[in-house]
Structure 1
Amino acid sequence: MQLIVDNVVCDLEAGTRIALGYDADRLRSPSELREGVAVKLLLPRSAVNDALFRTGFPSFNRTAHRAELRHDGARLHAGALRLLGTSTEGFAVEIAGAAASWAEQAARRPFDAVDLGYSGLLTPSQISAGWRGEGPVKFLPVLRDGYEPQNDPSDLQPAFRILTPDDYHPFLQIDALLRAIFAGAGYTVESRFMEGAFFRSLYMSGAYAARDTAAAEKRMGFRAVRLTTATAAADALGRVYATPYGEGNVVGNIVETATPLSEDEEGVVRTDPYNNGNCFGYDDLRIVYRPVSTVSVGFEYRLRYTTDHRIRSRDRLAGFDSLNLGTGGNLVFRLPNRYTDRRGALQPRTAYRAVVFDGSAEGQYRLLYTADGVASSHWADFTGRSAVVTTPASGVFSSPELYVREGSVWQAWTGDWALYDGHIGETGRTTVELTLRTPAAEAGPSAPKYFNTIFFYGAEEGMRLTLCRECSVRPLFSAAPAYGASLTTADICRHDMRQIELIEAVQHLFDLRFFTDEATRTVRIEPDATFWDESREADWSDRTDRSEPVVWTDAALEAHESRTYGYLAGDGASARLADGDGLPFGSWRSECGSAACIPGDERRTSPLFSPTVNAAGGYAGAPSALLPQVGDRDDAQNDGVNFTPRILRWCGMRPLPEGERWDDPSGGGEYPLAAFHFAGDDSLEGFSLCFEDRDGQQGLHRFYDREEAVLAQRRHVTLTLRIEPHEFETLFAPAGAAPDLRSTFRIGTDEGVVRATLRRIERYDPEAAAARCTFTLLPHDRL
């Protein structure tokens, strides 16, 4: 064997063995892979060695040195060499090799240094375009955990909550993130698993910049509310103004007070307003925010109002459907028509409201239907675009048809129309809720912020708008982007962590193994179940050195009584959900089943992710849409923007039931679905990112089933094999055709030939071509 240091061949003691310390468990730990394997040697005193190390230390260690161990041309080990000590006997050195520099760089680099090549605007149109594109960033709707608001008793339907850009959160494709991290370190990734559709559909939640706003909030924060309701009618432009000036089309200031314990018009004492530093107040009649020092500040508007509406079409109502916040932005949305068309389910003795969407007030219309099997039976005539019609007291009715009179002839109506429940009028009232954050701008003692240029619009002249007491405004000192902001990858990757933390979190989910080939700068990544290549079986059954002991050990000695696989503690909805065994949502437990195991439960918890529950009903326009719930309604520190990191599977655009619409620029009958767990339906196969099986879907424990099955064998065998130096070298070269660390081996033991994978190499003597190895028996290992 030769030791070559800086191209100098050093002298070694005869019969030198090397303790490589290979351990297959390191392949699952990026943190351990960054450290590499250190080989220590004691070099004898000789002319060559004395000349090389004569400067001693610290002088020798001030510069970097490269060393290789070779035997008959085969490279056994290589790496950086450092001098540990000198003595009369020789020089103690250490060769630190087999370290994965990608792991070292990932441990040093912040997560927001990853580059996905993303840039965009936080606007509805770009959010919607991202759902239909192939980019690595998608802004997905999230349902922030909260308590259900009370509904206005005058409404026929629940309040309609408008989705604004604040209701969408950035999610980043995990495949793109990992490849970018490895590419940034100069490596390429080879992985059948990562190339699969399942892995490519996984996205993790991004994060915006966090800033300690406690001091600013304490000095000049406020929450202003309304104490009264106010109603006004739209002017000729379809507008109602939130200003104290003018008459007829104004509802006063958008909010009225920030004084604590103010009493509203119902006599209820309001505990939510506050006014730190007395920065919120009045200038003449208008409200104003005058901070005690110049600050960059945006504002959060939580608004609730009731608008008159008219049924405009099958999908949309006419009413106040737009909001202008002055310099804070302009929001245009849709008031969806949530009433159900009953044409397909006529009942006897039932009143229906017929609405001809494009009809005229003077038009004459005739309704026909199939009555007791007779097609085109006369039902009713009416004038105008809407009328109430009633079916007879008995009979079977279906297939309604609409005709319009043109001159003296009845012609089939070619436009759209509908039949609603009879109590529904063509006009009515709808309550709207929305939360909108405005971009930050400078405000200060000499440049205060006024709120008297806000107006609602989009209605028909004369339609009324009632501004409710639930409205509030507060300043935002955070760095989170607001409506219309320009964003890059760095803006949405502000998790306070290093890149290696994501790698370790993904490893935990799928029991991944990392095999680094430094020669080609390639990292092979596969789950444990497919990492070990049983198709590359090497027959080494005749290589056992029978003069050395064969030692069998019980794998249970290194295992706990049970192992619980799961996620970090959930917040909000996921924390309130547990399975029948009392385990947290997303968790799975495996029992060892041996009295020899270590007492207690080993918790293998995700180092990064929390589970997520999807729920329907969060968006009134599409009540069947399943939205991820995030945040915690009882967390007083929740900033309403960021939340614990989540992992979801992107399922694409999914169709909504008839009559439901998603409020996005496309106006389509589909919505963006992403979920942590999905039971499946007629159009999409279910899946689960839970570790446990749930709703008939197999959990992620399937990636650990092989490992658990191997543990159930409870057998390791340690023996000495004859391995030539060139064979030893190829074990660590995964690109070759010869057996490598991933191969399955047939090993001869005192109990016969078994099938196993290489677990450890304790030492190697290249002169004798002898390696002391530990193998792990595979399930069904006997041949």
Structure 2
Amino acid sequence: MSSEIRIDDQPCDLNGTPQLRPGFDAAALADPATAREGSSMELLLPRSPRNDRLLGDAYAPQGTRTFNLTTRRVDIEWKGALLFSGTARLLSCGPEGYRLELRDGAPQWARSAALGMLRTLPVSFRMQLTPVDICAGWSDSSAVKFFPVVRDDYPKQSSGTGLYPAERLLSVDDYHPFLQLAPMVEAIFTGAGYTVESRFLESEFFRSLYMSGAYTSHDTSLLQKRMGFFARRLSTARAQADSLGRVYADPYRTQYSVGNIVETAQPQSVDEDGEPLGEQLFNNGGCFRQEDGGIVFRPLSEVTVGFEYFLRYTTEHRILDRNRLTGFDSLYLGTGSRLQFSLANRFVDRRNNLSPNYEYLVVVFGHKEGAEYRLTYVTGGKSQTWCEFSGRTAKVSTPPTGSFSNPMLMRRGLNVWIEYTLDWALYDGYLEERGTTTVELRVSSTPVTASPTSPVRFDTIFFQGAEPGMTLTLDKECSMRPLFSGRPGYDELLEFGDVARHEVRQMELLQAVGHLFNLRFFTEEPSRRVWIEPADDFYGAGPDADWRSRTDFSEPVEFEELSPGFRERRTWCYAAAEGAVARADEESGEEFGAWSYEMTSRATKMGEERLRNPLFAPVFSVKGYYANAASASLLQVGDRDAEVPDGNIAPTVVRYCGLHSLPEGERWGFPYEQAEYPLAAFNHAGDDETEPFTLTFGDLEGAEGLRSRYLAQSEIEDLRQRITLTLRLEPHEYAALFTPGTGMPDIRSRFRLDTGAGEVVAILEAVERYDPERSSARCRFIRLMEDGLR
């Protein structure tokens, strides 16, 4: 039989044509969470002996009523076309027959995404938390990259020596994990056995998007209240390096030591200059203490704890080459955490900008003992000897008047001066080969287990990397606090689940990404394919259909204005911001990243509707934080007013633009040591390398905002109509609507229709009913702004 309805492979009796009431509604395509319910339709079966047996005599009071006790499989086939395959449940019965709800069931991906956490996604990632591995990730294909960030904090008093501010050394704490969106979204579907069809997800733009990751986080407030502390130094300490180039933070050494790394957590303490430290110091439970002159952390109960250090010190240095200085550039924290940095040579080579009556310092980087040099310059079009010297450095001055250019360094050969081919530099004359540099860094140690009988001691910490005899001065502003959050420390092995610890389910990620780009999700279950595209691209992806001749005018054509269903103002915005963005919003009275559409129709509902992203918050970028690369635009994250900072940040989304060039004289720090840095931003004004872009909904700094994904839809909802009419559709044409890729019109198509009052172009919004015997479909369409097909 070519036309039949089967329940559990048993044919049902029909009384004329079955009236199918499909549950397709295009609005559900905008929210992937609705897929958890599956699609449904209603079916009315007549009463008959066969149907009564199949449905357990549900109409009779003495009937068995067993139909809904088990899952019932139903298939509807008409004229060779499979119109439906799914499950059935009995809703009601009456004189007219049995009313059934037919449901095709939620796709497996939807069930998995609704339950699965983000961290359980099968995304491949594995690395050691070291600066070397972090830098390597910027240019590889890893699904997780660590971008440099600026933690939101209160300004600290300026520091430094001479004309240069303190050098901010970067540790692994200055980077935060960011997770590439594309492999996560794809894994949600492929992990459940589905194939994704999406030009958008494969686009270079989408593959450049990353969301902030998160480490393990739990409520540490109780631990903080019982055992937390914040300790500081009270005095400055100075020591010289030993024969290994080390200075120790060991109170038991009489030489080469600055004593304890910090000294007290006692509230109301006063430093060596008589300045009170206010309320910032605390010592809950007395767990931070001095025992026999050394500091220890002796907790009240067993706990896993790491320690965050803020260190400021001044190191004696020697100019090593044009990029680096020799000095204290490494740190051992005593728990297996050995951190190596690099002291940048921030002095400017003046060879291309000589001034009259000015003193310079010549530094010959490849100098060998006994070598002699001649320095020349060009003046008046002729080369002249500037000076001759031996040794690695020399001071030289230009004459009071004249112009000078093209300095050249010569080396004495056997009987002739030859050009020096190794590197050398010409610095301002007020500099010396040896000087001092002030360094700042914030770093966390690897967590360890501590208990009342096995406390943590800090007497094995040392600084190294200097030449013997070089001096280190440890500043009184050094501080330390415990970290109970479980945040990983230096050199720990990380996998994807370790950096994706947001309490976020996979479905929430899909909803957040869908909100940003106005995505549509459609699943074709028999082929286990999922189509995902922004609305403007989704509609029009199917073949255009000229169905002007299909209108059945024996049934009414109804027109309904769309605008009465919407508020007069709709605003698309992000989740509540934190830190710097929240303060800026409060100050300006405006919400960063938001965009509003004002309806022109006066038929709307009054008031505003705010369409807020369910997950992502906006984020600022700042420049000037890292002195060696002051032009670098870095993400400013976190909240300085958080009660217990744990290193995690509000989920945000950024675009990664790859490695971005730095101006001459700027370099990224150790171990990368290149004149470029990883540019990741929420918005970027554009430059010679990168076009402007923004992830705000509104336009910003010449870049088009995400409003472009909603503008056409908003105009349609403002100015167009819903059109309900009846079409003549054969069963195979109706089935093709829900099977993209057959070459026939489907739900993604644009349809040209005859309304009787004129021709329109529209997209399918819903199918209200379908009569396969009469090939009659009652459909709702949304009229588009244009009235012609491509």
Give the conservation status (yes or no) of the 8 Å contact 2:56–2:65: no
Q: Does 1:168 align with 2:175?
A: yes
Task: Give unpaired runs (5+ residues) of structure 2.
Answer: 59-63
Q: Does 1:556 align with 2:541?
A: no
Q: Does 1:402 align with 2:404?
A: no
Cα distance, 1:360 vs structure 2? 4.9
Tell me the TM-score normalized by structure 1. 0.96
Counterpart in 2 of 1:780? 786
Task: Report the Cα distance in structure 2 between the residues aligned to 1:55 and 1:351, rounded to whole angstroms.
Answer: 107
Equivalent runs, 1:661-676 vs 2, <5 Å: 661-676=667-682
Secondary structure at the aligned position of 1:393 is classed as coil
Task: Report the Cα distance in structure 2 between the residues aligned to 1:124 and 1:153, rounded to whole angstroms.
Answer: 25
Tell me the TM-score normalized by structure 2. 0.95
Cα distance, 1:576 vs structure 2? 4.1
Task: Report the Cα distance in structure 2 between the residues aligned to 1:481 and 1:133, rounded to whole angstroms.
Answer: 22
Among 40, 48, 64, the alignment partner of 2:50 is: 48
Give the conservation status (yes or no) of the 8 Å contact 1:760–1:775: yes
Q: Which moved more, 1:381-390 or 1:491-500?
A: 381-390
Q: Does 1:256 align with 2:272?
A: no
Counterpart in 1 of 2:283? 275
Among 92, 108, 114, the alignment partner of 2:115 is: 108
Equivalent runs, 1:575-614 vs 2, <5 Å: 575-577=582-584, 583-614=590-621
Secondary structure at the aligned position of 1:621 is classed as helix
Among 460, 475, 482, the alignment partner of 1:475 is: 482
Give the conservation status (yes or no) of the 8 Å contact 1:189–1:523: yes
The letter of the residue matching 1:448 is: P
Equivalent runs, 1:442-457 vs 2, <5 Å: 442-457=449-464
Q: Does 1:732 align with 2:738?
A: yes
Equivalent runs, 1:116-195 vs 2, <5 Å: 116-152=123-159, 154-195=161-202
Q: In 2 relative to 1, CA 534–215 (structure 1 residues): closer, same or farther, beyond 3 Å?
A: closer
The letter of the residue matching 2:345 is: N
Task: Report the Cα distance in structure 1 between the residues aligned to 2:310 and 2:52, rounded to whole angstroms.
Answer: 78
Task: Report the Cα distance in structure 1 between the residues aligned to 2:92 and 2:551, rounded to whole angstroms.
Answer: 37
Cα distance, 1:319 vs structure 2? 0.4
Instruction: State the Cα deviation string for residues 523-548 of structure 1 (Å, max 9, x = none).
Output: 01111111112672111101111122
Counterpart in 2 of 1:4? 6
Give the conservation status (yes or no) of the 8 Å contact 2:129–2:494: yes
The letter of the residue matching 2:23 is: G
Instruction: State the Cα deviation string for residues 136-179 of structure 1 (Å, max 9, x = none).
Output: 11111111112332233534211111111111111111110011
Counterpart in 1 of 2:666? 660
Instruction: State the Cα deviation string for residues 664-721 of structure 1 (Å, max 9, x = none).
Output: 3342222111111111111222222111111111111122232133234322221111
Give the conservation status (yes or no) of the 8 Å contact 2:118–2:500: yes
The letter of the residue matching 2:40 is: A
Q: In 2 relative to 1, CA 582–263 (structure 1 residues): closer, same or farther, beyond 3 Å?
A: closer
Q: In 2 relative to 1, CA 578–395 (structure 1 residues): closer, same or farther, beyond 3 Å?
A: farther
Q: In 2 relative to 1, CA 361–623 (structure 1 residues): closer, same or farther, beyond 3 Å?
A: farther
Secondary structure at the aligned position of 2:102 is classed as strand
Task: Report the Cα distance in structure 2 between the residues aligned to 1:528 and 1:274, rounded to whole angstroms.
Answer: 55
Among 623, 626, 637, the alignment partner of 2:630 is: 623
Counterpart in 2 of 1:302? 310
Instruction: State the Cα deviation string for residues 72-107 of structure 1 (Å, max 9, x = none).
Output: 222222322123345576444221126433222211
Secondary structure at the aligned position of 2:786 is classed as strand
Instruction: State the Cα deviation string for residues 293-339 of structure 1 (Å, max 9, x = none).
Output: 12221111111111111111100011000011122411111001111
Q: In 2 relative to 1, CA 650–308 (structure 1 residues): closer, same or farther, beyond 3 Å?
A: same
Cα distance, 1:367 vs structure 2? 2.0
The letter of the residue matching 1:50 is: D
Among 63, 87, 92, the alignment partner of 2:70 is: 63
Cα distance, 1:346 vs structure 2? 1.8
Secondary structure at the aligned position of 1:50 is classed as helix
Q: Which moved more, 1:381-390 or 1:3-12?
A: 381-390
Counterpart in 2 of 1:316? 324
Equivalent runs, 1:357-756 vs 2, <5 Å: 357-360=365-368, 363-372=371-380, 374-406=381-413, 409-533=416-540, 536-577=543-584, 583-639=590-646, 641-756=647-762
The letter of the residue matching 2:22 is: L
Secondary structure at the aligned position of 2:526 is classed as coil
Task: Give unpaired runs (5+ residues) of structure 1.
Answer: none
Task: Report the Cα distance in structure 2 between the residues aligned to 1:180 and 1:480, rounded to whole angstroms.
Answer: 26
Instruction: State the Cα deviation string for residues 560-608 of structure 1 (Å, max 9, x = none).
Output: 2122122112222333446999542222222111111121222122111
Give the conservation status (yes or no) of the 8 Å contact 1:528–1:706: no
Q: Does 1:82 align with 2:84?
A: no
Aligned residues: 781
Counterpart in 2 of 1:204? 211
Instruction: State the Cα deviation string for residues 450-482 of structure 1 (Å, max 9, x = none).
Output: 111111110011111011111112221112211
Question: Percent same amino acid at aligned positions?
Answer: 49
Secondary structure at the aligned position of 1:353 is classed as strand
Q: In 2 relative to 1, CA 361–228 (structure 1 residues): closer, same or farther, beyond 3 Å?
A: farther
The letter of the residue matching 1:297 is: V
Task: Report the Cα distance in structure 2 between the residues aligned to 1:583 and 1:764, rounded to whole angstroms.
Answer: 49
The letter of the residue matching 1:263 is: V
Q: Does 1:293 align with 2:298?
A: no
Task: Report the Cα distance in structure 1 between the residues aligned to 2:303 and 2:345, rounded to whole angstroms.
Answer: 42
The letter of the residue matching 1:305 is: Y
Instruction: State the Cα deviation string for residues 338-363 of structure 1 (Å, max 9, x = none).
Output: 11112112222332222222225754
